[in-house]
Amino acid sequence: MNTQNLTTGKPRTQDNFFALIGNTKPYFKAAFEGFAGTGKTYTAAKVAIGLHKRVGSKKPVIIFDTEKAAKFLKSMFAAEGIEVLVRESKSLADLKETMTRMREGASDVLIIDSISHVWEDFLKSYAEKVRRTRLEFQDWGVIKPTWKTEFSDVFVRDPYHIIMTGRAGYEYENEINKETGKREIYKSGIKMKVEGETAYEPDLLVLMERMQEMEGGSIKKVTRQGIVIKDRSTVIDGKVFENPEFKDFAPAIDVMLEAPEKLETTAERDAGTLFRTEEEKYEWKQMKKRWLEEIENYLVSVWPGQSADQKKLKIDAIKYAFDTMSWTVVESLRPEALEAGFKRIQDFVQKHIQVEGAEMKKPEPKVEKPAKKAEAKAKTK
């Protein structure tokens, strides 16, 4: 497949900037959100056990435990013959170290229980560092990008399976009551207690709820319900499972893990290079000024005169290097284009010198001198 060069219209040779669609991220990233007692941790553990078997892992499952609740899962994993290692902490710094060790091969499956506590500790640590009791508007310009860099981006791209839980909280909105004319606040939904975009990073998001069946004022039966809020595979999107287990999510997991492929394209480019600080702008202008001076001074040093021939040679050199005879156009070019053009001007000058040298070495044609009259007469006698 050839692509067209937008500037010249000529076909561009195929490279590896683009790639065919394939599963270049064959890892299961899921989140279970819900209020206390809805079965988030239990369900995450059940899914982790099934996933561990599904991928044929021989490594332990690692739990980043913020609630000191991993001990209640010990018998569940032991019954399946799966070793479990735990890190009890709420610190994002510890979670970052945990994820680093996961990348180094410590495990294939990580459970984070719960990410809400890590987020709350992160906010608290920031407030203590800046010595504030309440966060201000400008603080979020530091907090949110830091969280994204240190957790969210890592969560998405890291090459292992991650199942995290998060506490649910109500979302509130307000509107004016038409009858009273007063503004009233009401519950508009449920969302995970964590940085706003984090809950939407996983490929699978499940809302866990505790369901009670009542009889005669007493609880007759309790079940946990899992509602699939988001499923990128679309296989189980919107489905509701009672006391969910691995088998309920297996169809989506199979799609997410099937036919893994290695990404073979050029490395992602840093968008930061599109921005310039004031210092970089100054350096850019100075570099541009430098190359314009280099070009002008070089041309003057080679052809210092003001004759029509030397003026034409300077213009020819500019045309050869930049495909224009306008100095205004040359002044508008970027420093890297000026640098490349300067090298082409030097190339033009060298070629011109070689041509001139070759012409000077050509032997002059011999011209016969007319014989003297006396010598001519002598020969006729």
**Structural domain of 324:** 279-361
- The reported pLDDT for the residue numbered 1 is 45
170 and 291 both lie in a single domain: no
**190 or 333, greater pLDDT:** 333
Residue 3 clears pLDDT 50, i.e. is over it: no
Residue 363 clears pLDDT 80, i.e. is over it: no
**102: buried, middle or exposed (CB in 10 Å: 19+, 13-18, 0-12)?**
buried
Between vectors from CA 100 to CA 95 and to CA 102, what angle results, nearest 5°? Answer: 95
Contact 202, 33 (CB under 8 A): no
- The reported pLDDT for the residue numbered 8 is 44
- The reported pLDDT for the residue numbered 213 is 85
146 and 100 both lie in a single domain: yes
Q: Could you tell me if residue 286 is inside a domain? A: yes
Lowest mean pLDDT segment, chosen from 54-68, 169-183, 302-316: 169-183
What mean pLDDT is predicted for residues 249-268?
A: 78
For residue range 137-195, what is the model confidence (pLDDT) as tens digits?
Answer: 999 999 999 999 999 999 999 999 999 999 988 776 777 777 777 777 766 677 788 88
Number of domains in the chain: 2
31 and 87 both lie in a single domain: yes
Residue 302 clears pLDDT 60, i.e. is over it: yes
**314 or 188, greater pLDDT:** 314
Q: Could you tell me if residue 241 is inside a domain? A: yes
Residue 133 clears pLDDT 60, i.e. is over it: yes
Q: Could you tell me if residue 345 is inside a domain? A: yes
296 and 244 both lie in a single domain: no
Residue 10 clears pLDDT 90, i.e. is over it: no
SS (H, E, C) the chain: CCEECCCCCCEECCCCCCCCCCECCCCCEEEEEECCCCCHHHHHHHHHHHHHHHCCCCCCEEEEECCCCHHHHHHHHHHCCCCEEEEECCCHHHHHHHHHHHHCCCCCEEEEECHHHHHHHHHHHHHHHCCCCCCCHHHHHHHHHHHHHHHHHHHHHCCCEEEEEEEEEEEEEEEECCCCCCEEEEEEEEEECCCCCHHHCCCEEEEEEEEEEEECCEEEEEEEEEEEEEECCCCCCCCEEECCCHHHHHHHHHHHHCCECCCCCCCCCCHHHHCCCHHHHHHHHHHHHHHHHHHHHHHHHHCCCCCHHHHHHHHHHHHHHHCCCCHHHHHCCCHHHHHHHHHHHHHHHHHHHHHHHHHHHCCCCCCCCCCCHHHHHHHHC
For residue range 264-295, what is the model confidence (pLDDT) as tens digits?
Answer: 656 666 676 666 678 888 888 899 999 999 99
Residue 82 clears pLDDT 80, i.e. is over it: yes
- Grade residue 6 by pLDDT with cuts at 50, 70 and 90: very low
Residue 212 clears pLDDT 50, i.e. is over it: yes
Q: Which of 251, 241, 244 is nearest to 41 (CA)?
A: 244
d(CA 111, CA 91): 15
- Grade residue 366 by pLDDT with cuts at 50, 70 and 90: low
Q: Could you tell me if residue 271 is inside a domain? A: no
Buried b (16+ CB within 10 A) or exposed e, 56-88: ebebbbbbbbbeeebeebeeebeeeebebebbe
Q: What CATH number is associated with residue 130?
A: 3.40.50.300
Percent of the chain at pLDDT > 70 equals 85
- Name the pairing type of β-strands 204-215 and 29-34: parallel
Q: Could you tell me if residue 369 is inside a domain? A: no
200 and 283 both lie in a single domain: no
Tell me the pTM: 0.67
- Mean pLDDT, the chain, rounded, equals 86
